[in-house]
Amino acid sequence: MSRITAPPSWMRLTGVRLLLLFLIFALVSGVVNAINMAVSGLPLVALISGLVTAGLAILAYRVVTGWLEQRAVTEAEPGTLLREAGRGTLIGIALFTVTIAVIAIFGGYRIGGGGSFGAMISTFGLMCGVAVVEEIMLRGVVFRIVEQWAGTVVALAVSGLLFGALHLFNDGATIWGALAIAAEAGIMLGAAYVATRSLWLPIGLHLGWNFAELGLFGATVSGSGLRDGGLVRGLATGSDAVSGGAFGPEASIFAVIAGVAVSVVLLRRAAKAGRIVAPSWRR
Tens digits of per-residue pLDDT, 222-252?
Answer: 888 777 788 999 999 999 999 999 899 999 9
Reply yes or no on whether the pLDDT at 179 is more than 80: yes
- pTM of the predicted model, to two decimals? 0.94
> Does some domain include residue 274?
yes
> Does some domain include residue 260?
yes
State how far the Cα of 22 lies from the Cα of 165, in Å rounded to an integer.
15
Q: Which domain holds residue 202?
A: 9-278
Residue 1: what pLDDT?
43
Residue-wise DSSP of 173-234: --HHHHHHHIIIIIHHHHHHHHHHSSSHHHHHHHHHHHIIIIIIT----TT----S-SSEEE
Residue 4: what pLDDT?
65
> Does some domain include residue 2?
no
> Does some domain include residue 131?
yes
Mean predicted confidence (pLDDT) in 96-118? 94
Reply yes or no on whether the pLDDT at 212 is more than 90: yes
Mean predicted confidence (pLDDT) in 140-157? 96
If one counts the domains in the chain, the total is 1
Reply yes or no on whether the pLDDT at 283 is more than 80: no
| Average pLDDT in the chain | 93
Q: Report CA dihedral (16, 166, 142, 269) to the nearest 10 degrees.
A: 170
> Does some domain include residue 3?
no
> Does some domain include residue 243?
yes
Q: What is the DSSP letter of 169?
A: G
> Does some domain include residue 106?
yes
> Does some domain include residue 1?
no
Residue 2: what pLDDT?
46
